[in-house]
Structure 1
């Protein structure tokens, strides 16, 4: 061997190569991992597809709700009480609707956050979107409305107005889906299972609903909750006077529809109101779909102080709400008295 020469045995050469590969792996593993994470974050969702899936999910959930009620197999039980002491009920209709709706949306868009009123671990990997887009959506909404998946939050209410559902007051019952992008409601679907009617809207794109031609805010008809009312009647009278007509109704979805013009082709037993007011705590799956419908038609749903509601993060809205369309919403809010959420 020459004084300057170094010879590696095959074993030594193999160890050297392995060490080299190890060093390279550690150097680049973090880089590769970051690229994969960035790729995943760049995944997008076509909102027209998500609207179509939302409609399909609401219909599937509605079928379960109606079936359970028709068979009188509700098996109702209490989930506990609200802050105001009202029972929060759970029925087989709630659960079966949740399973259909949640699994369909989650399976179709696994990268999207889906929040439902109910929590059930029954998975159905076979639940799949039919790939059908309703004709009225194709007519009014353009495709290619892509947004980053991580900006999307879906809110599901598998059975709105459960209290009324157990009392067989089925006109108040709806199933609802809402899509929020960066916390703002963009897509709203409200399905009425016992009539088969489905209202939908995509903010900035279109809707199958419209606002009525006129509303009154001087002596309005105010629609409020019949089962989670708190001190809403005195609140409404303080705002608009003792002669104000108050309509008590179940379900936030129904109350929003009462502000709108139901298509003449539909036979839906529906109250007509000028303003929707709620003074107790309420969950975002109850109100997000309605907020999207109103927004698409130029209306508003805010807290009682006129603040926008963020539809990302926690489920509870503590600020109450006032909803309107076809009127000066800011002027409406100014009529409302001071409100303390802890005392209503």
Structure 2
């Protein structure tokens, strides 16, 4: 009879009635839940794991857009401080060459907007900035705006592992010149390295408003395309750009290695000097002392995108991975072509210098 009791049990002297219909319904419901859970684990779980795995990926197209925006927003902060002339200048100490290493409110504000902006979009990526010791409070944030790239830019959706990506930020290159109002040398820079190789480089000139960017193997800014000209092919009459703040050693090396026909172009800022090579105002950029990687990574990426080369003075590629030192201690040479010929002359110069010192 339907609804008749199935069994009786005694608990604590009381009777508990178990009906057949509720028991059947419960069994059916439990079966449905079990089937759902099994199907979820077989079908939904891989998709869920895929979503989690995608969180560990970085889209390089978005990273390029964010890098360009970060450099431009940092440049806005630099200009704003320049217009107010409230630099709040102080010294970080002396460089190895004995020059003052200044720090201003423009460095701080540019650093905060650039690094915090990038970190907001890419929290899993390791980002190094020249001013990482600076404490940031409320920085101006920005949203991704693809229109910062020109319409014909070839920027595919390419994803790489976040752990392979290192970003180098220079919030204000040529701070000393900034304090002297030599604004043509000032740049803000972002570089994206993948597995230690510079892949995306952005050099923004705040006071001209021009942005040179390149993504190796894909595209570059229209400004960079227009800036690029046919490089010199005559290494017997090179034009070498060297730093105006510590030129003595570089000038001596350039004259000894490249002979009396060498011309020297003194300038400031690693980003600016790389662009002088791109524009054919210099055939090579020479630096003979140590230099930080946030100074050179963006220029390295841009040169490689144009078919050029940046190495240490011994011809070794520079690694921009997170586990290497942020300081390149081996000097650098940057060229658009015939890099090996310049390196050979530098190597010959070092050999002759070593031989002379031994004879003494």
In the superposition, the TM-score normalised over structure 1's length comes to: 0.81
CA drift of 1:130 comes to: 3.2
For residue 343 of structure 2, the aligned residue among 333, 340, 343 is: 333
Q: Cα–Cα, structure 1 residues 190 and 135, in superposed 2: closer, same or farther, change >3 Å?
A: closer
Question: Do the aligned partners of 1:282 and 1:320 also contact (CA within 8 Å) in 2?
Answer: yes
Q: Cα–Cα, structure 1 residues 73 and 220, in superposed 2: closer, same or farther, change >3 Å?
A: same
**Structure 2 gaps, min length 5:** 1-47, 354-360
Matched, 1:167 2:156: no
Q: What SS class does the counterpart of residue 99 from structure 1 fall into?
A: helix
Aligned to 1:20: none
Matched, 1:144 2:157: yes
More contact order relative to length (CA 8 Å, sep ≥ 6): 1
Matched, 1:217 2:235: yes
Question: Do the aligned partners of 1:187 and 1:203 also contact (CA within 8 Å) in 2?
Answer: yes
For residue 330 of structure 2, the aligned residue among 319, 322, 325 is: 319
Structure number with the higher helix fraction is: 2
Q: Cα–Cα, structure 1 residues 151 and 331, in superposed 2: closer, same or farther, change >3 Å?
A: same
Q: What SS class does the counterpart of residue 306 from structure 1 fall into?
A: coil
Separation in structure 2 between the aligned mates of residue 233 and residue 250 of structure 1, nearest angstrom:
14
Which runs of structure 2 are paired with 1:16-95 in the superposition (5 Å)? 43-95=56-108
For residue 103 of structure 1, the aligned residue among 97, 116, 121 is: 116
Question: Do the aligned partners of 2:240 and 2:282 also contact (CA within 8 Å) in 1?
Answer: yes
Moved more, 188-197 or 70-79: 70-79
CA drift of 1:124 comes to: 4.2
Question: Do the aligned partners of 2:236 and 2:261 also contact (CA within 8 Å) in 1?
Answer: no
RMSD: 2.2
Aligned to 1:280: 289
**Structure 1 gaps, min length 5:** 1-34, 262-270
Matched, 1:176 2:189: yes
Aligned to 1:207: 220
Q: Cα–Cα, structure 1 residues 232 and 177, in superposed 2: closer, same or farther, change >3 Å?
A: same
Q: What SS class does the counterpart of residue 122 from structure 1 fall into?
A: coil
Separation in structure 1 between the aligned mates of residue 147 and residue 61 of structure 2, nearest angstrom:
8
- Hey, which bits of structure 1, 4+ residues long, moved more than 4 A? 38-42, 123-126
Matched, 1:237 2:250: no
Q: Cα–Cα, structure 1 residues 177 and 85, in superposed 2: closer, same or farther, change >3 Å?
A: same
Q: Cα–Cα, structure 1 residues 283 and 135, in superposed 2: closer, same or farther, change >3 Å?
A: closer
Q: What SS class does the counterpart of residue 81 from structure 2 fall into?
A: helix
Q: What SS class does the counterpart of residue 88 from structure 1 fall into?
A: strand
Q: Cα–Cα, structure 1 residues 106 and 124, in superposed 2: closer, same or farther, change >3 Å?
A: farther
**Structure with greater Cα Rg:** 2
Q: What SS class does the counterpart of residue 286 from structure 1 fall into?
A: helix
Separation in structure 2 between the aligned mates of residue 183 and residue 109 of structure 1, nearest angstrom:
18
Q: Cα–Cα, structure 1 residues 279 and 125, in superposed 2: closer, same or farther, change >3 Å?
A: closer
Q: Number of aligned residue pairs: give it.
A: 295
Separation in structure 2 between the aligned mates of residue 87 and residue 125 of structure 1, nearest angstrom:
28
